[in-house]
Structure 1
């Protein structure tokens, strides 16, 4: 059985393109969710990994939709392999753990994806540091209304909630 997994990072993103691509590739069942790839709480992915059986092939549209890091990728692929489940990327032709060349390509692409993620994080950190040095970056906008807190304290509320 071909089983698909689709993921987007935020609620305002659309899963349609991924789900349609997986259906067109022949997936009989597709698990999908809107969760950050860095999240360790991807319930649809866990359900998908529990669902697949010996002889099944798990399909994703792209590698970055599936794994957070090389360690994460290798861990999940190892689990799938032990259970006799193959793995394929629809939009990254050649990434297919049911072939020797596909396994090689998977390792290379996984390393490149992790490298890109780390570069992106470094550039973001550099940009934030530069903005802070220029007095432009003030951090996350306050989510607490300071005036409301003062009013609550004046009305007898305390920080413990008693």
Structure 2
């Protein structure tokens, strides 16, 4: 095996080890924030409007019009149609 290949493998191993440590610290930090009530995540927007989306779709409104009316993204309208 060439020296360059050995160095490449060593650096890859170090990177993987550092990445695992970083992810572990991230999990600990998120758990601590949740325990303190600071980490709530993103509030779902379109899920609250799913019945309205279906109703407006049945009335013949276009997805872009529904999105504008409800203040959500067009992709969310397509998801809940």
Normalised by the shorter chain, which TM-score bucket? 0.5 to 0.7
For structure 1, the 5+ residue unaligned runs are 1-98
Structure with larger RCO (C-alpha < 8 A, sep 6+)? 2
Is the helix fraction higher in 1 or 2? 2
Q: If the length of structure 1 is used for normalisation, what is the TM-score?
A: 0.31
Supply the RMSD in Å over aligned alpha carbons: 2.7
Distance 1:103 1:154, change over 3 A: closer
Secondary structure, counterpart of 1:136 in structure 2:
coil
Shift of 1:156: 8.9
Larger Rg belongs to: 2
Distance 1:123 1:133, change over 3 A: same
Q: Given the alignment of the two structures, is residue 151 of structure 1 paired with residue 52 of structure 2, yes or no?
A: yes
Shift of 1:104: 1.2
Report the number of matched residues.
60
Runs of 4+ in 1 over 4 A off after TM superposition: 153-157
Q: If the length of structure 2 is used for normalisation, what is the TM-score?
A: 0.57
Is the strand fraction higher in 1 or 2? 1
